Amino acid sequence: MKLNSITLGLVAALTLSTTIFAQADDQENQDKYDKKITEAWIRSGSWELDHDSALARAESEGKYVLAYFSRSYSP
């Protein structure tokens, strides 16, 4: 019974710490994303950041969309 309580406690602690680390990672990556989307080339090139807005513009202007997929969480 005591061993089970200790095991359960350890599992709970591990789960909690994993959740805390994942949330910390998420926050760090969100900060990187927020910084990335403010880079000068995006503004100066009028790059759309919203998919639906890009498609709506393509529809109204009769154009195609040049979609560039990259990442912000690492260089």
Partner 1 sequence: MIPFVNFTARVEGHPSDALSRRYEIRGFPTLMILDASGKKVATPDGRDIASFSATIASLEALDSLRARKDAGEVGLEASILLARLQLGSIDFKQAAKQRKALVKPKKFESSQWEADLVEIDALLFNLKLADMFQNAGRDPDKQAELGEKLYVMAKNGRFASGPMTYQYWSQVMLVAKKKKDVKVYEAGYNALHAMFKDNPRAKKVLAEMKAELDAMR
State in angstroms the smallest separation of the CB of 8 from partner 1.
Answer: 26
- CB closer to partner 1, 4 vs 46: 46
Q: CA 73, CA 36: separation in Å to the nearest integer?
A: 9
Q: How many residues contact partner 1, by CB under 8 A?
A: 33
**74 DSSP 8-state letter:** -
State in angstroms the smallest separation of the CB of 12 from partner 1.
Answer: 21
Residues 48/57, Cβ–Cβ less than 8 Å: yes
Q: CA 34, CA 43: separation in Å to the nearest integer?
A: 14
Q: Which positions touch partner 1 (CB under 8 A)? A: 22, 25-26, 29-30, 32-33, 36-37, 42, 45-49, 51, 54-55, 57-59, 61, 63-73
